Homo-oligomer: A and B are copies of this chain.
Amino acid sequence: MKQTDSGAGIQVIDRAVALLDAIARYPEPVRLKILSAETGLHTSTTHRILNSLIDNGFVERLPNGHYRLGLRLLQLGVRLHSSLDLRAIALPFMQKLRDKLGETVNLTIREGDVLVYIEKAVPNRMMHVQQIVGSRAPLHVTAVGKLMLGAGGEEEIRSYTQRTNLPAYTRNTLSSPQKLLEECQSAYRQGYALDNEEAEIDVGCIGVLITDSSGSLVGGLSVSAPIERRRLVWVEDVIETGRAISAQLG
């Protein structure tokens, strides 16, 4: 297609959106023929695009063959909302903790098998640990990640182990399935976890989980420091800050 005007767009995406709109107009699941008529698309085109939307979770096909919007739409919408809220709510607490401990405080959320760093509070000193917002780290080499695995239970830990094969990042990385299982379960019971140079040599970390008012896991909070500066007495402060943030979440 010659893109002769800047608003030309991509036909199949426009069509997919038109189909989503058509479905959205019906409070109850709707048939292929209706959608085809509403959008003016050939039935087999309609069928193909719907299948793609189904594969991607934007549409669901019911056993009777009718179509309705899929939960992926809610998930994406909610993600937009909640991650912004989480960050705004957590930031003042993180800054306070940073000022008290003099080290970097990180806020993370989980995406599949990795942690994503979504906010940070960095101390005003030259040497400090710092993760770029947006960067990612495997679950098994981070304190918060190990807690999240622990929260998921033995089955999930085994599944994660199988999927990832526990690649080693340093000589301290827990690459043994058994060791990881024990560490995650132990950490989860304690309510905090440590990262002892498992992701990067010379970097130590203390992490806790953040939950919302229904108890659902929302993210993680951690303090990262050069390993020789890390103090175990900070654990209580980190736990307390995590609790304070959790208390603010709806």
Task: List residues of chain A with CB under 8 Å of any chain B CB.
Answer: 3, 6-7, 9-10, 12-14, 16-17, 20-21, 24-28, 30, 34, 48-49, 51-53, 55-56, 58, 68-69, 72-74, 76-81, 83-84, 86-87, 109, 111, 116, 118-119, 133-134
A56 and B25 contacting across the interface, CB-CB below 8 Å: no
Query: Of B27, B77, B87, B118, which one neighbours A73 at CB under 8 angstroms?
Result: B77
Query: Top 9 closest A-B pairs, CB basis?
Result: A27-B83, A10-B52, A74-B77, A77-B77, A69-B80, A17-B56, A73-B77, A13-B52, A24-B79
B79 and A76 contacting across the interface, CB-CB below 8 Å: no
The interface residues of chain B lying within 8 Å CB-to-CB of A13 are 12-13, 16, 49, 52-53, 56
Inter-chain CA distance A3–B21, complex, in Å, is 26
Chain B nearest CB, measured from A111 CB (Å) = 6
The quantity of this chain's copies bound in the complex is 2
Chain B nearest CB, measured from A9 CB (Å) = 4
Q: List 27 A-B contacts (CB under 8 A).
A: A3-B48, A6-B51, A9-B52, A9-B56, A10-B52, A12-B13, A13-B16, A14-B52, A14-B56, A16-B16, A24-B80, A24-B83, A25-B111, A26-B116, A27-B86, A27-B109, A27-B119, A34-B134, A68-B80, A69-B79, A69-B80, A73-B73, A73-B77, A74-B77, A74-B80, A74-B81, A76-B77
The interface residues of chain B lying within 8 Å CB-to-CB of A69 are 76-77, 79-80
The interface residues of chain B lying within 8 Å CB-to-CB of A27 are 83-84, 86-87, 109, 118-119
Inter-chain CA distance A230–B111, complex, in Å, is 59
B77 and A133 contacting across the interface, CB-CB below 8 Å: no
Inter-chain CA distance A83–B74, complex, in Å, is 14
Query: Of B10, B20, B55, which one neighbours A76 at CB under 8 angstroms?
Result: B20
Given A14-B52, A24-B80, A73-B76, 18 other A-B residues pairs in contact with their CB atoms under 8 A: A3-B48, A6-B51, A9-B51, A10-B48, A12-B12, A13-B16, A14-B55, A14-B56, A17-B56, A21-B76, A26-B83, A26-B118, A26-B134, A27-B109, A27-B119, A34-B134, A73-B80, A74-B80
